[in-house]
Structure 1
């Protein structure tokens, strides 16, 4: 399995639209789906 995506370190904490955390959670979701598929195989 590939390593999970790194947590962002550039968040300003203002809740911006398109926050770096939104991208992180989307990447984490895809990593989780890929990892579960590998474990099932």
Structure 2
């Protein structure tokens, strides 16, 4: 039970680490596009 919980926590932390930069990149691109279109 505890093992599965730790595995779940590890997976979500891993996906956060994977999606974090992607999200940041997407936000940055959106901001740049918004500024450019002003």
Structure with higher Rg: it is 2
Structure number with the higher helix fraction is 2
Could you tell me which runs of 5 or more consecutive residues in structure 1 were left unpaired when the two chains were aligned.
1-11
Higher relative contact order structure (alpha carbons within 8 Å, sequence separation ≥ 6): 1
Could you tell me which runs of 5 or more consecutive residues in structure 2 were left unpaired when the two chains were aligned.
1-6
Q: Which 4+ runs in 1 deviate beyond 6 A?
A: none
Number of matched residues?
29
